[in-house]
Chain A
């Protein structure tokens, strides 16, 4: 019978499998270790712990890359992780670079087209309503908060929405540029930390957090990542933290920004959809109605369609056989 237990894995065997794959990949790439960007979140923490388990702490280099919208606890939790595994780390403040390329100014310019007062001291986020509420289309809202704490919600224009996202994507891209600087310096490869939900559903920035040489947990459902975190001894504070985007100035969950559903339920729905589990069993396991599950499946397919481009490499006119 399909249930939450269906996703339980043999943690020791899985760590062995991932370790062997990482060592083999480094051998093929002729790299000497792995760089991992550390956010204080569960995915980068487990990826770091897996790399240490596979390669030893001397062959893992962690980088913290805060900017002005990074949450206060990110560095504290990341440091605790690095201390736990004895990994060498560096703090790279990407704020000045983001300011220089106009990330914040371009965000603000787009926001002011729908909220003219937006400026110093204001905060914002992009948010989706829950997919369970009805047969609505995936329309993102812009939520702004004034310095006095007043919150307003707007439906942005397509141009404003695209500019906010495009400007914000500088963050993930500059982080990846920084990771490759250290990888080149050390002759290391770069790790990518998406879990299966993120990888499958396109929740990453092309040539930003989507870029990497090795993605150790892209095949694992989020609940399985938590299972490995416990097995690998990732600090309890990191395991207890709600997954966030840590990208916008207003606090925001990943569910609110992209997935529209709590990750544990989406894990089950994605598994069930991938494996043709009878819908009655899915309803029992997720405590969702069958019409809600049907909407989740449609949303999964829609996200696969609209983000297929993110997975594509450069398209060639014809194959170059020598490469």
Chain B
């Protein structure tokens, strides 16, 4: 499964998204309320466990974590 699909699957399974069609790749997860600050902790734990990366404090910014596209791009950079 592609990274992007794994991330989408995690978000749809772990959080409550009444209409999965609203989870477009570029939509803000925070602004749409799909995740909150506790959800960010869960996303980070998912990234670290599933993709064997360490999310540093300075990397916990919206540019890295606040959409499926941004998460995918961040992971791609981390895994080189």
Does B12 sit at the interface, judged by CB under 8 A? no
A189 to chain B, nearest CB (A): 33
Are A137 and B60 within 8 A (Cβ)? yes
Are B38 and A158 neighbours in the complex by a CB distance under 8 Å? yes
Contact check, A139 vs B31: say whether CB atoms are below 8 A apart: no
Which residue of the partner chain B has the closest CB to A162? B38
Interface centre among B38, B63, B65 (most CB of A within 10 A): B38
Looking at the complex, which one of A135, A136, A139, A302 makes contact with B41 (CB distance below 8 Å)? A139
Interface residues of A in 146-165 (CB under 8 A from B): 155-159, 161-162
Contact of A161 among B30, B31, B41, B66 (CB under 8 A): B41
**Complex CA–CA separation, A156 to B61 (angstroms):** 17
Is B80 at the interface (CB under 8 A from chain A)?
A: no
Number of cross-chain contacts by CB at 8 Å? 47
A315 interfacial by beta-carbon distance below 8 Å: no
**Interface 0/1 of B34-45, CB less than 8 Å to A:** 001111111011
Interface residues of B: mostly helix, strand, loop or mixed? helix
Q: Given A134, A137, A305, which contacts B65 in the complex, CB threshold below 8 Å?
A: A137
Q: B37 and A138: CB pair below 8 A?
A: yes
Q: Are A136 and B60 in contact (CB under 8 A)?
A: yes
A140 interface residue (CB < 8 Å to B):
yes
Question: Known contacts being A158-B39, A161-B38, is A137 close to B45, with CB within 8 Å?
Answer: no
Count class of interface residues, chain B: 10 to 19
Task: For the complex, count residues of A whose C-beta is within 8 A of B.
Answer: 17
Interface presence of A306 (CB below 8 A): yes
On whether the beta carbons of B33 and A156 are closer than 8 Å, the reply is: no
Q: How far apart sit A181 and B26, CA to CA, in the bound complex (Å)?
A: 51
Select from chain B the residue with minimum beta-carbon distance to A140: B37
The answer for the CA separation of A139 and B56 in the assembled complex, in Å, is 12
A137 and B31 contact, CB distance less than 8 A: no
Q: Which of A298-323 contact B (CB under 8 A)?
A: 302, 305-306
A157 to B41: give the CA distance in the assembly, Å. Answer: 6
Indicate if the CB atoms of A135 and B38 lie closer than 8 Å. no
CB distance from A156 to the nearest CB of B (A): 7
Chain B residues closer than 8 Å to A158, beta-carbon distance: 38-39, 41-42, 45
Q: A305 to B40, Cβ gap below 8 A?
A: no
How many angstroms from the CA of A204 to the CA of B45 in the assembled complex? 27
Query: In the complex where A135-B61, A137-B62 touch, is A156 in contact with B31 (Cβ < 8 A)?
Result: no
Contact A139 B37 (CB under 8 A): yes
Within A161-219, which residues are at the interface with B (CB < 8 Å)?
Answer: 161-162
Of all chain A residues, the one with the shortest Cβ separation from B40 is: A137
Instruction: State in angstroms the CA–CA spacing of A239 and B29 once bound together.
Output: 41
Excluding A155-B41, A161-B41, 18 further A-B contacts by CB distance (< 8 Å) are: A135-B61, A137-B30, A137-B40, A137-B61, A137-B66, A139-B41, A139-B60, A140-B37, A155-B44, A155-B57, A156-B41, A157-B42, A158-B42, A159-B42, A161-B38, A306-B33, A306-B36, A306-B37
Residues of A that sit less than 8 Å from B by CB: 134-140, 155-159, 161-162, 302, 305-306
Q: Top 4 closest A-B pairs, CB basis?
A: A158-B42, A158-B41, A306-B36, A138-B37
CB pairs A–B below 8 angstroms (17 shown):
A135-B61, A135-B63, A136-B57, A136-B61, A137-B30, A137-B37, A137-B65, A139-B57, A155-B44, A156-B41, A157-B45, A158-B39, A158-B42, A158-B45, A159-B42, A162-B38, A302-B31
